[in-house]
Amino acid sequence: MWQDLDFHLIHFLYYPFNYPYVWLPVVFWLGAIAGSFLNVCISRMPKGRSILWPKSHCHNCYQPIRGKDNIPIVSFLTLLGRCRRCGLRFSAGYFGVELFMATAFAGLWLYDVAWNVRAIGSSGERLYMQARGSDLACVWLYHAVLLFVLTGAALMDWADGPVPQRFLAPALATGIVGATLGPWPWPGPLPPRYVNPADLTWRDLPQGMQLLPPWRPLPSWLPGESPELGLVTSLLGAVVALAALYAANGLFQLTIRSMPVSLSAIHCGTAIGIYFGWQATVIHLLFAGVLLGLFFPLRGRIGRRPGRRLPVVASLCFAAGLVFLAWPWILWVEATFRRYL
């Protein structure tokens, strides 16, 4: 190890992201900062207030919180969650969101980059790894934006507040742009003379940033690794999510005479559809429906007051996390079904 130190140092300078564990504390810290910013968004945006002005201040003594008292996670621990001037106790929820985002960003880094659980970059059947660390870091960034927005949306929804469209808009924009820049199977290689027969399982396909190609075999006007393919993949996911959520609203209107799927929920589902592509979106909507069924009776009991609205946004966000984490096992289930059917 130590005699190779100069090799590793030079290699690190050229390919810094090929040493993923070096970046783990950095990513954890980025998550804490993101959580701190998310706290500002959650407490202000549903009330229509600016996230830039005024600066963070104590709600009791109205003194601005100074820079050294506004360090994510650390300040809460050193001041034991109190205001330095008047000693008012801040909600532990702020600390919880910072710690959650830090852990989630670091966990996503392990999932996407360090452990590469989805085997992104392998040309199917985990034959060989080709994705570079810097490619995987881009994949992480793409997912981190969605993670940030969905966590915020779920928390705003759970607090019974509206989820502003302008909070969700970055996920929609990043989703479309990222899909166009990193079309399936990027960063995986498209194997030479890739015949793409229909009897391959999802697991046999190259695993890219985008989960699956929209259909197989791909037509000649929509080849793999083309920006058009990335765009079509994401738009089809969006269309499926939009159609299903509007249909759900119609169904609710007929049965319980209310439309619980808000415009925010539709935007949220669309963002997830853009990221997931249509196949994973179908699975996601099924998961979200089951979760909504579980949440609904639970919510009246654990909340201080009975829920006025169905937590549709929270269910969509939570289900998206589940599908994303369970994706390797979903591939396995699909392969098993295809073998026996």
Applying CB under 5 A, which residues contact Zn ion? Answer: 58, 60-61, 83, 85-86, 88
- The nearer residue to Zn ion, 88 or 159, going by C-beta atoms, is 88
Specify the residue for token string 């009791």: 60
Q: Residue 264, SS3?
A: helix
- The nearer residue to Zn ion, 36 or 233, going by C-beta atoms, is 36
Q: How far apart are CB 63 and Zn ion at their closest, in Å?
A: 6
Residue 274 near residue 211, CB atoms below 8 Å: no
Using the Cα atoms of residue 267, residue 261, residue 105 and residue 133 in order, give the sign of their dihedral.
negative
* Angle, CA 340 vertex, CA 339 and CA 341 arms, to 5°: 100
C-alpha to C-alpha distance for 334 and 216, rounded to whole angstroms:
15
Residue 323 near residue 283, CB atoms below 8 Å: yes
Using the Cα atoms of residue 141, residue 100, residue 317 and residue 188 in order, give the sign of their dihedral.
positive
C-alpha to C-alpha distance for 285 and 292, rounded to whole angstroms:
10
Q: How far apart are CB 88 and Zn ion at their closest, in Å?
A: 5
- The nearer residue to Zn ion, 59 or 216, going by C-beta atoms, is 59
- The nearer residue to Zn ion, 87 or 300, going by C-beta atoms, is 87
Other CB atoms within a 10 A radius of the CB of residue 56 amount to: 13
> Which two structure tokens, joined as six digits, stand for 91?
């909600």
- The nearer residue to Zn ion, 86 or 333, going by C-beta atoms, is 86
- The nearer residue to Zn ion, 11 or 89, going by C-beta atoms, is 89
- The nearer residue to Zn ion, 57 or 216, going by C-beta atoms, is 57
> Which two structure tokens, joined as six digits, stand for 183?
């079309």
- The nearer residue to Zn ion, 83 or 147, going by C-beta atoms, is 83
The overall longest dimension of the chain from CA atoms, in Å, is 73
231 CB burial (10 A radius; 0-12, 13-18, 19+): middle
Residue 323 near residue 284, CB atoms below 8 Å: yes
C-alpha to C-alpha distance for 133 and 297, rounded to whole angstroms:
45
Q: How far apart are CB 103 and Zn ion at their closest, in Å?
A: 28
Q: How far apart are CB 61 and Zn ion at their closest, in Å?
A: 3
Strand partners, 122: 129
Residue type, 1: M
Q: How far apart are CB 59 and Zn ion at their closest, in Å?
A: 8
Q: How far apart are CB 322 and Zn ion at their closest, in Å?
A: 40
Q: How far apart are CB 85 and Zn ion at their closest, in Å?
A: 5
Q: How far apart are CB 43 and Zn ion at their closest, in Å?
A: 16
> Which two structure tokens, joined as six digits, stand for 291?
């979760």
Please name which of 264, 35, 314 lies closest in space to residue 158, comparing C-alpha atoms.
314
Q: How far apart are CB 150 and Zn ion at their closest, in Å?
A: 32
Residue 174 near residue 306, CB atoms below 8 Å: no
- The nearer residue to Zn ion, 36 or 315, going by C-beta atoms, is 36
